[in-house]
């Protein structure tokens, strides 16, 4: 989408365009989701909207003049306002509508020299009071005082006003990466939502062996549904034969190398690796520590069979992805590859420090697919992470079934695009509850 917006606007408007303040702030602060309406300000704008995929549109607003060159920057491939210029130009309601982005933007300010220059040049006394109040609200009182002192020294009367309508977190020690800062802030925002929306009480678990035996009963159903959700054409019979090592007996070479069979083989090998990690967690080891140690082993197990028969390039086993990936029909775009290397260690840290089992399970799954660290296999591994974390609450291995795939994907998109984790939490909680009451559905249940 960003490539399209850039190419489309360059062709129509040359260099005389830029995205509006609100979207500029989103891209500066590591948001990977475009607004439902992308507003572009252009000298030759026509005040018309162009309908785009995934329920989005592009509106080209005609403006009389372009901002000064030092108020513009190239960010995530788009011609955006600088961080400081965007903060000054942001509409008052944005401080309430997207407090997370505004908090992160304030945390990224290294000093007030650039923003003071813009405020003074435009005689923005009301905006100066709003920014000073916002800075104080996020625990950056020294910058708030600098804004007030500078404006008052120029003879302006400033009334400080906090523009946020809810309490916000401190922005004094944000991670250096804006993507990591956003993930960390999302975690803190969403964990309260998760704890309120999760309705399945913690269960006292039996012995590790009893838990693993119960999980093994669910393997056929889990493999069938997890692979089917990702578009593989598998059957319970194929999965069972792969598990027993009888796939390929008397079959043709082509069948042995068939994509779906190798996916089933990889899932079985990954399942064994996950069981080994699960045992360590059931014995009391921190699940975040275990995941940090074992995730790459899960990934290698998932893809080694396909690599060994030549269906997947060996380079895919290297680790974190090295190029951009996209999700069809979603406003959210996974993080750029250079951000993954910072974001994954942060996820491990967050899981290691988290004390609530339901938060570990819900946000462990969600943040993993939000980052999308691998070129493929992220959904299957996310559901394995979810189950590793569910075990810490005594909850059984839980199968996400094919019949709710659309609801499942919509809930993930709501969390990624709108920071609303409640639908995903309620969905997972209901699935866990169903496993406790009814046990697992059959492999081909619909």
Cα→Cα distances 198→201, 370, 426, 428, 429, Å: 8, 20, 6, 8, 6
Q: Which of 246, 375, 363 lies closest to 302 in space, CA to CA?
A: 375
How many other C-beta atoms can be found within 10 angstroms of the C-beta atom of residue 276? 13
Q: How far apart are CA 143 and CA 115, in angstroms?
A: 11
The answer to whether the CB of 129 falls within 8 A of the CB of 147 is no
DSSP 395: P
Is 372 among the catalytic positions? yes
The residue behind tokens 């399209």 is 4
Task: Please say whether the beta carbons of 311 and 262 come within 8 A.
Answer: yes
Q: What is the C-alpha separation between 317 and 445, in angstroms, rounded?
A: 33
Asked if residues 327 and 162 have their Cβ atoms less than 8 Å apart, the reply is no
The residues, ordered by sequence, that sit 6+ positions from 230 with a Cβ below 8 Å of its Cβ are 263, 379, 380
Whether the CA torsion 31, 34, 38, 44 is positive or negative: it is positive
Maximum C-alpha span of the chain: 90
Instruction: Assess contact for 192 and 162: CB atoms under 8 A.
Output: no
Written as one string, the DSSP assignment of 55-92 is TEEEEEEE-SSPPPGGGEEEETTEEEE-HHHHHHHS-T
* Alpha helices for 309-421 (secondary structure H): 337-353, 357-371, 378-390, 405-418
Residue 333's SS3 state is: coil
The order of strands in the sheet holding 56-62 is 17-19, 37-42, 56-62, 48-52
How would you classify the pairing of strands 37-42 and 56-62? parallel
What are the phi and psi torsion angles at 288 (to 5°)?
-70, -40
- Taking each continuous run of H as one helix and of E as one strand, the counts in the chain are 20, 6
- The catalytic residue among 71, 225, 365, 372 is 372
- Nearest in space to 371 (alpha carbons), one of 158, 177, 166: 177
In 3D space, the residue among 377, 390, 386 whose CA is nearest the CA of residue 299 turns out to be 377
Which residues line the annotated binding site for ATP? 376-383
Whole-angstrom CA distances from 179 to 28, 176, 418 are 9, 9, 16
Catalytic residues: 372
């Amino acid at each position: 989408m960003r490539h399209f917006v850039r190419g489309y606007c360059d062709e129509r408007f040359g260099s005389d365009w830029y995205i509006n303040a609100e979207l500029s702030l989103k891209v500066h602060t590591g948001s990977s989701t475009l607004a439902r309406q992308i507003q572009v300000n252009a000298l030759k704008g026509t005040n018309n909207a162009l309908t785009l995929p995934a329920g989005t549109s592009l509106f080209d607003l005609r403006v009389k003049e372009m901002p000064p060159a030092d108020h513009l920057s190239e960010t995530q491939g788009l011609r955006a306002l600088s961080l400081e210029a965007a903060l000054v130009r942001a509409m008052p309601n944005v401080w309430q509508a997207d407090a997370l982005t505004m908090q992160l933007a304030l945390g990224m300010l290294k000093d007030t020299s650039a923003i003071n220059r813009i405020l003074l040049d435009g005689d923005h006394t009301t905006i100066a009071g709003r920014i000073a109040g916002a800075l104080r609200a996020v625990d950056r009182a020294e910058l708030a005082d600098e804004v007030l002192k500078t404006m008052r020294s120029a003879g302006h009367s400033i009334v400080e006003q906090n523009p946020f309508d809810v309490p916000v977190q401190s922005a004094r020690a944000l991670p250096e990466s804006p993507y990591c800062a956003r993930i960390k802030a999302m975690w803190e925002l969403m964990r309260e939502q998760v704890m309120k929306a999760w309705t399945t009480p913690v269960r006292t678990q039996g012995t590790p062996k009893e838990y693993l035996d119960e999980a093994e009963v669910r393997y056929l159903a889990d493999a069938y549904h997890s692979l089917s959700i990702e578009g593989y054409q598998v059957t319970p019979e194929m999965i069972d034969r792969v598990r027993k090592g009888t796939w390929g007996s008397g079959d043709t070479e082509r069948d042995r190398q068939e994509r779906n069979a190798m996916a089933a083989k990889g899932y079985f090998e990954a399942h064994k690796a996950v069981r080994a990690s699960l045992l360590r967690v059931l014995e009391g080891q921190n699940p975040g520590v275990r995941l940090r140690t074992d995730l790459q082993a899960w990934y290698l197990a998932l893809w080694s069979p396909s690599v060994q028969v030549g269906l997947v390039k060996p380079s895919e086993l290297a680790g974190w992805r090295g190029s951009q990936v996209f999700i069809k029909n979603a406003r959210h775009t996974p993080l750029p590859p250079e951000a993954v290397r910072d974001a994954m260690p942060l996820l491990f840290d967050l899981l290691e420090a988290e004390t609530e089992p339901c938060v570990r399970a819900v946000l462990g799954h969600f943040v993993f697919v939000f980052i999308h660290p691998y070129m493929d296999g992220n959904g299957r591994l996310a559901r394995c992470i979810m189950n590793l974390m569910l075990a810490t609450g005594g909850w059984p291995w839980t199968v996400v079934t094919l019949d709710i795939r659309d609801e499942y994907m919509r809930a993930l998109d709501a969390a990624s695009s709108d920071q609303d984790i409640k639908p995903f939490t309620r969905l997972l909680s209901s699935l866990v509850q169903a496993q406790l009451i009814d046990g697992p559905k059959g492999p081909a249940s619909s």
